[in-house]
Amino acid sequence: MFVKQTHPLPTPRRNFPSRGRQVPYHVEKKEFGPSGNPLRIMVLGGLEEVGRNMTVVEYNKEIIIIDMGLQFPEEDMPGIDYIIPNATYLLDKKDWIKGVIITHGHYDHIGGIPHIMGQIGNPGMFMGKMTAGLVRKRQQEYKTAPQLKIKEIDETTTLKLGASFQIEFLRVNHSIPDCFAVIIKTDLGTVIHTGDFKIDFSPVNDKPADLNRIARIGGQGILMLMADSTDATHPGYQLSESVIGEEIGKLIENIDGRIIIGTFASQLSRVQKIFDLAERHGRRVNLQGRSMNDNVEIAHQIGYLKFSPHILADDKELSRLPDNKILIIGAGAQGESKAFLTRLANGEHRTLNLKSGDTVLFSSSVIPGNERTIQNLMDMLVRKGAKVINYRMFDIHAGGHAKQEDLKLMMRLLNPEYFMPIEANHYMLQANADLAEAVGIPKNKIFVADNGQVVEFRKGSMGKTIGTLTKEKVMTDYVMVDGLGVGDVSEIVLRDRRMMADDGMIVIIATIDTKTGSIIGNPDIISRGFVYMKENRDLIEKTRMKVKKIVKDKNPMTPADDDYIKNKIRNDIGQFLFNATKRRPMVLPVIIKV
């Protein structure tokens, strides 16, 4: 569904304001709006899954949106490319929307932009420089999507969005550069949305988070902290990206053959370290996969990836280079069916073949649910003669999300009155909530919400802002993207796909006399994914006779009723086949009247 773009990227605008200066976007003289209305916060995606992140903050009939991501399909969603947030709540409030803020450039935070921005009036967008490059590149692939109005920000930027929101930014570390937490100031209090983050004191090609500034902001009083929960079930501190680079360097130093490294295309800090190590050890780098090439191109153009172009080697050059001078980086460490590593393991790559002496490093963790797929991929690689090394054997991967001690540190520094875990499955949200309680936040001020559930803040009788997790929910149903279709695949369509995947289908074609309703000849039967017809002739013949009887039993003196006959065939043959096989194939009757 994606189209490779051959024209060069537009040069991103570089107009960073100095500290304290405001970006001139919808600036109003009034400090904040009136305090009679509640401050409402609702998460349209990201509270019941990892992905589809999108948060709405609403106050005084003004709205800001944080992130607009996609979620990759679940196993019971055959044919679905991805899922995006449902923007129905916003459709009649387009004039309320004062801006969209994107915390960083991962697809679970930017993937919904081409589909949603046109629906909501294409408001102004604010994001870091690296994120802007990735968003612009993705937007080029959708010809009908609007041209985005992007303004680049950094940690010194302040924004006034409408009359209600004063916005500042905190630089945080993740597995991609230019990640920001969002500070939302209103006259009811300050809300902080962390985005994805980890505490990394020695990040690669990025500045570490300013913990002193975070502590100062916490000292000013925080109404609510909304914090990343993806690694809230993991104890300890997250590893620094620099440590991972050191471990990969030790391996490269001791490997003689070709080195093939599988990692996420968005893991640009890791990619930078690999480039540095390749240059140090005299290896040329070959990039595999569209997403890997695109991300490296964008990051290099805007200065986030630093390497000499001569280090890159295309596929044709690999055959002329000694094995100990080659390092290949590609995606597919999660076992994706069309990704580089899977095609290499299956012998389907157009130019590369595995051979004895190759070493494959899996420099990524296992996404839950992919364990068997990745194990099968490793088995195939080893059968081809390669040696496989993964993160369980050596420290060659660090996650991009805060673990328990990092999360508690952020909570203590900001010291919020209310806490809301975000960006994970429910059990991870609850683990983060438990951490908040452990550092002293009262349980009744910790909101573990569902997608769409509204959190409200109002002024109490004593002038203090009071928060409530309400029972109100806005629509957050799945919007599924399937090829060029957006939202046109319903649960009924998915149910039919699952049925066909589980038990197959059987097509019954009956030719009927229009006047008498009697059947002409024998019905034709086609089985797909149900039974092999040559080996089940008895069952097929019994089915054929059953269909003839269904049609014959109808009153021969009345015209044929298509719907009646189809429903009768569908129900009776479905029950007959279940009794005979204990399987429920989809029965598709086709009536031809002559």
pLDDT at 538: 87
Q: How far apart are CA 467 and CA 469, in angstroms?
A: 7
Domains delineated in the chain: 39-236+399-482 (3.60.15.10), 241-390 (3.40.50.10710), 491-593 (3.10.20.580)
Q: What angle do CA 528, 573, 594 make, to 5 degrees?
A: 85
* Phi/psi-derived region of residue 582, left when phi > 0, alpha when psi is between -120 and 50, beta in every other case: left
DSSP string spanning 329-345? EES-TT--TTSHHHHHH
Sign of the Cα torsion 298, 301, 305, 308 reads positive
Q: What is the pLDDT of residue 38?
A: 95
Question: Can you read off the two tokens belonging to residue 463?
Answer: 């002038």
- Residue 311: name the closest of 335, 276, 336, 345 by CA: 276
Q: What residues are annotated to the active site?
A: 228, 401
Question: How many angstroms separate the CA atoms of 138 and 18, rounded?
Answer: 29
Q: Between residues 402 and 248, which one has the greater pLDDT?
A: 402
State how far the alpha carbon of 370 is from the alpha carbons of 336, 365, 373, 382, 418, in Å.
Answer: 9, 10, 5, 18, 35
For 73, 388, 482, the CA distances from 82, given in Å and listed in that order, are 5, 30, 7
Whole-angstrom distance, CA of residue 13 vs CA of residue 540: 67
| CA pseudo-torsion sign 497, 501, 502, 507 | positive
Residue 368 has pLDDT above 70, yes or no: no
Of the pLDDT bands very low, low, confident and very high (cuts 50, 70, 90), residue 417 is very high
CA–CA dist 340, 483 (Å, integer): 21
| pLDDT greater than 70 at residue 3 | no
Q: pLDDT class for 51, splitting at 50, 70, 90? A: confident
CA 123 to chain centre: 22
The CA distance from 100 to 193, in Å, is 13
pLDDT exceeding 70 applies to what percent of the chain?
A: 84
Beta bridge partners of 480: 83
pTM above 0.85, yes or no: no
pLDDT above 90 coverage of the chain, percent? 43
Q: φ and ψ at 323, to 5 degrees? A: -60, -35
Is 60 exceeded by the pLDDT of residue 109? Answer: yes
How would residue 76 be classed by pLDDT, with cut points 50, 70 and 90?
low
Helices (H) and strands (E) in the chain, counts: 15, 25
* Cα gap 415→418, rounded to integer Å: 9
Q: Which tokens is 60 given?
A: 């005084």
pLDDT tops 60 at residue 369: no
pLDDT tier at 162, thresholds 50, 70, 90: very high
How many Cβ atoms sit within 10 Å of the Cβ of residue 5?
Answer: 12
Confidence of residue 489 (pLDDT cuts 50, 70, 90): low
- Please say if the pLDDT value at position 463 is more than 80: yes
pLDDT at 492: 64
Among 234, 149, 223, CA closest to 186: 223
Each residue's pLDDT tens digit, 372-399? 777 888 888 888 888 888 766 544 556 7
DSSP string, 235-264: -S-PPPHHHHHHHHHHHHHT--S-EEEE--
pLDDT at residue 558 is higher than 90: no
Helix (H, G, I), strand (E, B) or coil at 555: coil
The one-letter amino acid at 43:
V
Q: Strand pairing partners for 119?
A: none
Mean pLDDT value across the chain: 84
Where does residue 571 fall: left (phi above 0), alpha (psi -120 to 50 degrees), or beta otherwise? Answer: alpha
Q: Which of 25-39, 227-241, 342-356, 420-434 has the highest mean pLDDT?
A: 420-434
Q: Of 218, 277, 208, 260, nearest to 238 (Cα)?
A: 208
Contact 5, 141 (CB under 8 A): yes
Do residues 558 and 517 touch, judged by C-beta distance below 8 A?
Answer: yes
pLDDT at 123 over 80: yes
Question: According to DSSP H, which parts of 159-240 are helical?
Answer: 211-219
The pLDDT, as a whole number, for residue 483 is 61
CA distance 343 to 353: 10
What is the pLDDT at residue 31? 42
pLDDT band at 46 (very low <50, low <70, confident <90, very high): very high
Is the CB of residue 269 less than 8 Å from the CB of residue 206?
yes
Asked whether residue 134 carries a pLDDT value surpassing 60, the answer given is yes
CA distance 490 to 480: 8
Q: Are 506 and 486 in contact (CB under 8 A)?
A: no
Model confidence band, residue 7 (pLDDT cutoffs 50, 70, 90): very low
With 80 as the cut, is the pLDDT of residue 349 above it? Answer: yes
Q: Would you state the structure tokens that stand for residue 129, as one six-digit string?
A: 């420089």
Evaluate if residue 9 carries a pLDDT over 60.
no
Q: What is the pLDDT of residue 118?
A: 94
- Could you tell me the two tokens for 342? 């899977």
Higher pLDDT, 63 or 9: 63
On whether the CB atoms of residues 349 and 342 are closer than 8 A, the answer is no
Is pLDDT at 192 greater than 60 in this prediction?
yes
Residue given tokens 């590609």 in the structure block: 330
In terms of residues, how long is the chain?
594
Could you tell me the two tokens for 309?
């172009």
Q: What mean pLDDT is predicted for residues 286-311?
A: 89
pLDDT band at 176 (very low <50, low <70, confident <90, very high): confident
Crossing angle of the two packed helices 211-219 and 404-414, in degrees rounded to 10: 50
Residue that the structure tokens 């992007």 belong to? 150
Q: How far apart are CA 304 and CA 191, in angstroms?
A: 30
pLDDT score recorded for residue 496: 67
Instruction: Collect all residues with Cβ–Cβ distance below 8 Å to 381 and sequence separation of at least 6.
Output: 341, 344, 345, 354, 360, 388
Report the 10 Å Cβ neighbour count for 516. 15
Instruction: Report the pLDDT averaged over residues 69-89.
Output: 79
Q: For position 408, what pLDDT does the model report? A: 97
